[in-house]
Chains A and B, each alone.
Chain A
Amino acid sequence: EDQVTQSPEALRLQEGESSSLNCSYTVSGLRGLFWYRQDPGKGPEFLFTLYSAGEEKEKERLKATLTKKESFLHITAPKPEDSATYLCAVQGTGGFKTIFGAGTRLFVKA
Chain B
Amino acid sequence: DTAVSQTPKYLVTQMGNDKSIKCEQNLGHDTMYWYKQDSKKFLKIMFSYNNKELIINETVPNRFSPKSPDKAHLNLHINSLELGDSAVYFCASSHWDRRENYGYTFGSGTRLTVV
| Chain A interfacial positions (CB closer than 8 Å to B) | 31-32, 34, 36, 41-49, 51, 85, 87, 89, 91, 95-100, 102-103
Contact = CB atoms under 8 A, between A and B. Distances in A.
Contacts of B4: 43
B42 A100 contact: yes
Contacts of B21: none
Given A43-B90, A100-B42, A102-B42, A91 B101 contact: yes
B50 interface: yes
A16 to B, nearest CB: 27
Contacts of B103: 34, 36, 46-49
B66 interface: no
B101 A32 contact: yes
9 contacts: A32-B101, A34-B101, A42-B109, A43-B4, A47-B103, A87-B43, A100-B35, A100-B42, A102-B40
Contacts of A99: 45
B56 to A, nearest CB: 6
Interface of B: 4, 31, 35, 40-45, 48, 50, 55-56, 58, 90, 92, 96, 101-109
Q: Is the interface of A mostly helix, strand, loop or mixed?
A: strand
Contacts of A43: 4, 90, 92, 106-109
Contact of A96 (B35, B41, B44, B55): B55
